[in-house]
């Protein structure tokens, strides 16, 4: 995907193709990855009907990172490693920029003694999740054919390989930065890896760049929890709640603080007014 994007995108660039890339990127990254896979499937930070959950997860699969169960496995493995007192450079993003990019996006981790991955029954028994897990790469093909039929090679190139390459690379880059440096509103003691925020990327990541907040309150559907922290994914969830499509949305005030959680800034009160010891 990356090779095709780098070689062919400059040749087949048109206004319509770029508009297609931007539109499909917003839909798959915001509704699919951030809301469907991350906030819903992985963290269960809100509830919705089965048909909408399956639609959101399908859109998240189209981002091109992994199948739905693979995304849960990758996320759980990384969180487990980061919460230890020592963490390998892979999950801590401690390697140099190019090496970390190669590890994260183009390699598969194989452990001699891996922790047991036991997904819940709702994940193991869902036939659509099983289908998407087996065919997540092939899910790009129907859209590739549709884009080719409608807009020719420009739509095909910008609608699939450019979208996938930019989405996956951008996801890695934000993760690389927010696990290494940046402002912090929260800190967790006795863990190997801290989360940091990347305010400049808040809008283009649909709120995912508030990664320090996410480390502090992982089950919160709201990632931009401080005043002025833009979180487009949260705005979409609020709209869906007003339409009656989602409910039971979790926010920090509804959650118990993580063990060892401390406020870094002067104000020691998390959203909702609950005090946390420093």
Buried b (16+ CB within 10 A) or exposed e, 94-129: bbeeeebeebbeeeeeeeeeeeeeeeeeeeeebeeb
Query: pLDDT tens-digit profile of 209-222?
Result: 999 999 999 999 99
SS3 state of residue 187: strand
| CB proximity list for 158: less than 8 A, separation 6 or greater | 9, 12, 13, 17, 18, 20, 21
Structure tokens at 18: 């770029």
- Distances in Å between the Cα of 74 and the Cα atoms of 46, 78, 122, 139, 275 are 21, 6, 18, 20, 32
Residues found in the chain: 278
Q: Please report the pLDDT score of residue 252 as a whole number.
A: 95
Query: pLDDT tens-digit profile of 35-49?
Result: 999 999 999 999 999
SS3 state of residue 247: strand
Average per-residue pLDDT for the chain? 92
Q: Dihedral of the CA atoms 238, 241, 245, 247 (nearest 10)?
A: 110
Residue 234's nearest CA partner among 213, 257, 215, 255 is 213
In what helix (H) or strand (E) does residue 263 lie, and over which residues does it extend? strand 261-263
Q: Is the pLDDT of residue 268 over 80?
A: no
Mean of the pLDDT values across residues 43-64? 97
Write down the residue that tokens 């493995």 correspond to.
Answer: 77
Q: Please report the pLDDT score of residue 11 as a whole number.
A: 96
Structure tokens at 144: 């590739």
Stated pTM of the model: 0.91
Q: Is the pLDDT of residue 23 over 50?
A: yes
Mean of the pLDDT values across residues 110-122? 86
Q: Is the pLDDT of residue 277 over 80?
A: no
- State the DSSP code for 181: S
Mean of the pLDDT values across residues 99-115? 90
Query: pLDDT tens-digit profile of 146-155?
Result: 999 999 999 9
- Going 64 to 65 to 70 to 76, the CA torsion angle's sign is negative
| 134/151 Cα distance (integer angstroms) | 29
Q: Is the pLDDT of residue 5 over 50?
A: yes
Cβ contact 147:162 at 8 Å: no
| 14/3 Cα distance (integer angstroms) | 19
Mean of the pLDDT values across residues 153-163? 98
> Strand locations in 119-241, DSSP E?
186-188
- Under the banding of pLDDT at 50, 70 and 90, the label for residue 275 is very low
């Amino acid at each position: 995907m990356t090779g095709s994007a780098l070689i062919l995108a400059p040749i087949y660039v048109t206004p319509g193709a770029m508009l297609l890339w931007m539109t499909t990127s917003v839909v798959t990254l915001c509704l699919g990855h951030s809301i469907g896979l991350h906030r819903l499937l992985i963290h269960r930070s809100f509830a919705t009907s089965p048909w909408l959950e399956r639609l959101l997860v399908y859109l998240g699969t189209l981002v091109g990172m992994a199948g739905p169960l693979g995304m849960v496995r990758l996320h759980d493995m990384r969180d487990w490693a980061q919460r230890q007192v020592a963490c390998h450079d892979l999950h801590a993003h401690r390697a140099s920029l190019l090496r970390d990019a190669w590890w994260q996006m183009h390699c598969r981790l194989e452990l001699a003694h891996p922790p047991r991955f036991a997904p819940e029954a709702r994940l193991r028994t869902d036939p659509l999740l099983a289908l998407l897990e087996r065919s997540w790469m092939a899910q790009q093909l129907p859209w590739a054919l549709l884009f080719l039929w409608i807009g020719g090679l420009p739509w095909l190139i910008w609608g699939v390989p450019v979208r996938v390459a930019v989405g996956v690379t951008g996801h890695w880059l934000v993760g690389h930065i927010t696990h290494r440096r940046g402002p912090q509103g929260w800190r967790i003691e006795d863990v190997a890896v801290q989360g940091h925020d990347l305010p400049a990327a808040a809008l283009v990541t649909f709120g995912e760049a508030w990664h320090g907040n996410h480390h502090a309150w992982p089950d919160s559907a709201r990632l931009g929890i401080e005043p002025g922290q833009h979180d487009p994914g949260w705005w979409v969830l609020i709209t869906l709640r007003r339409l009656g499509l989602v409910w039971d949305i979790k926010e920090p005030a509804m959650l118990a603080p993580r063990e060892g959680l401390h406020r870094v800034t002067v104000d020691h009160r998390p959203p909702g007014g609950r005090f946390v010891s420093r």
